[in-house]
Structure 1
Amino acid sequence: MARRPKWWHALQDSKNEVRLAVDLYNRSGTERQLEAFIVHVTMGWLKLLQAHFEKSGQNIYIRNERGHRVRHPDDGGFKHRSLRDLSEEFFAPNDPRKANLEFFTGLRNQIEHRYERDIAALVAGRTQAYLLNYEQTVVELFGEDEGLADELRFPLFLSSITGDAVDSIKKVRERVPRGVVEWVQDYDTGVEAGIAEDQRYEFKVYLIPTPDRKQKPMPP
């Protein structure tokens, strides 16, 4: 059996990180679910781009002025380029996936565990987009056979569509620490309107209830 290329192993590691992220997020009673989700999906993104760059023959290492790979002073391994660096090269500047990825890179440092559930509700649409963007990119780069859609039950975050929906969202925002809310608002201010409205930046679902036809009275 032929030996698998290095990029293939990086891709499988990437998908395993995302599998773990979804499992931890959906597991009832697990603390720090949002942080765990962000950490592992972000790692999945890093390994995904590394796999793509490796397969394409592009550089994934930090190099010195002479073009030589730089080693870590501690373990002697080669230093890899950061996710930010790879994403800057991979995505177009106006790609909503890039804005969504950068949002979660920054949000991780803002999470306060006491309020994590409220923060999760505040950014639910972007959390969904973070996951769907990953799946879209995997399929684009490596084909449907490498996708996870048939394997995982992706979480779907629904906001209430009742008349109290706006009040519910306001109450959530009131519970979230002011510093986190201000950080989210500041980030949104810097996002172009076209990107902010894109489903790849923040996934939004609108449900329209319909009457059950079985309950309709029969015509005379």
Structure 2
Amino acid sequence: MKPKQRIRTVGSVSNELLKKSREAALAAVQVFNNPAITFKSEIFVVMMVISWTYLLHAHFRKQGIEYRYFKVAGTRKRFDKTSKGAFKYWELERCLNDQASPVDKAAANNLRFLVGLRHEIEHQMTNRLDEHLSARFQACCLNYNDLIKRLFGDEFGIDKHLSFSLQFSAINTDQWEALHDAEGLPPNIRAFINAFDSALTEAEFNDPRFAYRVLFVPKTANRKGQADKVIEFIKADSDLAKDVNKHYAVVKETEKAKYLPKQVVEKMQASGYPRFTMHNHTQLWKELDAKNTSKGWGVSVVKTWYWYQPWLEIVASHCAANAAAYS
């Protein structure tokens, strides 16, 4: 093949990959913003993983980097193929692991989370993922739009095709807490999220490229005839941001404190019930079916059970009601 012909082939394949990548990303966002679809998070994750994979394939193709699996036999490459004879291309994780990957660490953390989440939801139906993980989904979209424009030009961005999704009700603090505490996440999803987040540093967890969290403040126009902005983005170090933090209650998600069974028993003994033992604690949680995840009293993380603060209060009430036995 002549050099010019090869350049045209590389360009055409790269453009086709970009086209599919953008279509997958747009489809993911459109599905997520569709109020009639209840399986939106799962579809979003799968489609965005495909979108990012094609984007990185297009980049590698453009740079002349081999992104097919192969083995070296002597001086020749023997490419791995499927049972039907098709080449095996790198999956997203392999793309991110390559030293030529253009994805920065924070955005890569976001994608590794989505890939891990996809592995979990492949095997079990889920619900209520939307409100728990929307900040990470938002970061994924912003990271994608930023990278595709940086690698291929502003004309390939998808921001011009998207708009903010409208909703029919405002969200106050009580409503947000009700959403946040709503049960429905399967134990395996909870365990995966906790394990993944625990492996991140505080700076990595708080990086907006990993999870994009915003504060919503009602905004009205200053003069009649002006168009209102429902959402206004402001810099974190601006005077307005400092003023908002000073005068408004900010809804901030924090990690729940977790306690091992041994710690629960030790706290009860330190509170004046020295005869309350691990055996008593085990009998109590079994009697109350306390490890039923629908009750929200604890969580299993990598095969280890942790108790939340509400369970400690229940145990404390039990000890107080049976003070004669435990004092």
TM-score computed with the length of structure 1 as normaliser:
0.83
Residue number in structure 1 paired with 2:95: 86
- Equivalent residue for 2:120, pick from 110, 118, 133: 110
Aligned: 1:70 with 2:70: no
- Across the aligned residues of Structure 1 and Structure 2, the Cα RMSD in angstroms comes to 2.6
C-alpha distance after superposition, 1:78-137 (max 9, x if no partner): 111221111112156x71100000001111233343x42x12211110011111111111
- How many residue pairs align between the two structures? 208
Distance 1:147 1:127 in 2: 17
Structure number with higher relative contact order (C-alpha < 8 Å, ≥ 6 residues apart): 1
Q: Which one has the largest radius of gyration? A: 2
| Structure holding more strand per residue | 2
Change (3 A) 1:176 1:71: closer
SS of residue in 1 equivalent to 2:142: helix
Give the match's secondary structure for 1:30: coil
* Counterpart contact for 1:91–1:98, Cα < 8 Å: no
Superposed counterparts of 1:33-182, under 5 Å: 33-66=40-73, 67-89=76-98, 90-91=101-102, 95-111=105-121, 112-113=124-125, 115-116=126-127, 118-153=128-163, 162-164=172-174, 167-172=177-182, 174-182=183-191
Select the residue among 192, 197, 203 that pairs with 2:201: 192
**Partner Cα distance (1:64, 1:15) in 2:** 32
> Aligned partners of 2:172 and 2:64: how far apart in 1?
52
> Can you give the 5+ residue segments of structure 2 that lack an aligned partner in the other structure?
1-7, 224-327
Q: Deviations over 1:176-213 (max 9, x none)?
A: 22332222111100012111111110011112335786
Distance 2:86 2:173 in 1: 57
- Residue 77 of structure 1 deviates from its aligned partner by 1.6
Contact kept, 8 Å, 1:161 with 1:207, in 2: the verdict is no
CA deviation vs aligned residue, 1:119-162 (integer Å, no higher than 9, x gap): 221111001111111111101101101111111226599xx763
Q: TM-score w.r.t. structure 2 length? A: 0.57
Question: Identity of paired residues, percent?
Answer: 24
Structure 1: gaps (5+ residues):
215-220
**Larger CA deviation: 33-42 vs 43-52:** 33-42
CA 1:52 to 1:137, structure 2 compared with 1: closer, same or farther past 3 Å?
same
